[in-house]
A = this chain, B = another copy of it.
Amino acid sequence: MPPAKKFGLQYFCKTIQILSKEGLNSRLNMKTTEGDQKPVIGTAEPVEGERPTLKTIAFMAGLGVTTVSRALKDAPEIGQATKNRVQLIAKQIGYRPNRAGVRLRTGKTNVISLVLNAQSEIMGLTSNMVYGISEVLSETPYHLTVTPYSVKNDPMQPIRYIVETGSADGIIMSRTEPNDPRVRYLTEHGIPFATHGRTEMGIEHPFHDFDNEAFAYLSVKSLLARGRRRIAMLAGPSPSVTYYRHLHRGFSRAVEEGGASTVAVSDIDVDTSLGRIRNRMEEIMSASNRPDGIVCCSGSAAIALVAGIEAAGLKIGGDVDLVSKQSTDVLQWFRPQIIVFNEDVRHAGRELARAVLRRIAGVDARELQSLSYPDEHDLRS
């Protein structure tokens, strides 16, 4: 008979005592050492190839499955000694709850879903977001699943899918619109979520946002400080996305305050292909009323902008200044040097993950709203 290796004699005895009740062994349907009827008990190694379940622990501890389940989650009706013992066994045999079992019984998935637009990739945004979220989730039982959708498709589609199939406990999504149907839908259905970006629909929900108004304002200010008077902006996607408005608000305010004028940049935005941005920029910079200061809200677009500007025979820093937002540090090393403000998307990911988790835990949405501010790195000053 194998000795009760690490659990001490008491557990062994208790188990034997339980075993003496007739039929228990077969009722528990446990593996036995071949030939005789003595089951493998008391050993602390993960003995069987199969994954341990509550039943395994219950068998080893000589307890009921229910008791084990409760002991593992520190329920008040279980004695402290029992809890300690159960938790020790669980740890030693490497017990991990079966997620399918939990999910089937409770409906809890332990999944957070990141819903992403697969078309509009702003340099480094997706990856940093993913890593930021993972960083937080890795210390929890939650897993991250990614649910992308094409910009041509209905953004509601993945959301509906998740809700209808109950495939996540919480959702993180970006590119919010002022009146965002996803926010309305999820709120109505009581599904916890957090958005990267704000809305303007009177619904309080968790969000994290970069202060694009401040970014645009500061960007224009720094252009004005360099004596630029004719300011243009390559803005966030379509006007339907909320931060487009923030950008324009900050932009207009700074331009007005500085008594400068604006030059419209039509036909292109940060979702446009870099080739088109370059070409259109060349046109714009070749016109007589060309801007002498440009604000850009995407790092990769900025590189294309520069290409267009130079194609028009103009010089950054001389004929025109450029300020850009960046979400990696690549632009820091880009020549000609441009003025950059950093958006820490990884941090945003962390904030969003924390927000959904706390929302799931029942925290009021208003406590889960945060803003982060542009961080200027002007390498030229």
Contact = CB atoms under 8 A, between A and B. Distances in A.
A134 B121 contact: no
Interface in A127-163: 127-128, 130-131, 134-135, 138, 143-148
Interface in A156-202: 164-167
Given A164-B51, A306-B333, A306-B335, A148 B121 contact: no
9 contacts: A98-B104, A103-B103, A116-B130, A125-B127, A131-B148, A134-B146, A134-B147, A145-B145, A307-B333
A98 B166 CA distance: 9
A139 B268 CA distance: 32
A313 to B, nearest CB: 13
A271 interface: no
Contact of A127 (B126, B303, B306): B126
A329 B164 CA distance: 38
Given A123-B123, A146-B145, A165-B96, A333 B103 contact: no
Given A131-B148, A303-B333, 7 more contacts: A51-B164, A94-B164, A100-B103, A118-B131, A126-B127, A275-B333, A307-B333
Nearest to A346: B118
A274 interface: yes
A96 B165 CA distance: 7
A310 interface: yes
A330 interface: yes
A144 B130 CA distance: 13
Interface residues of A, number: 52
A138 B150 CA distance: 11
B134 A148 contact: yes
A110 to B, nearest CB: 10
Contacts of A56: none
A223 to B, nearest CB: 21
A310 B332 contact: no
Contacts of A278: 333
A69 interface: no
A317 interface: no
Contacts of A260: none
B300 A328 contact: yes
A99 B127 CA distance: 28
A116 B94 CA distance: 24
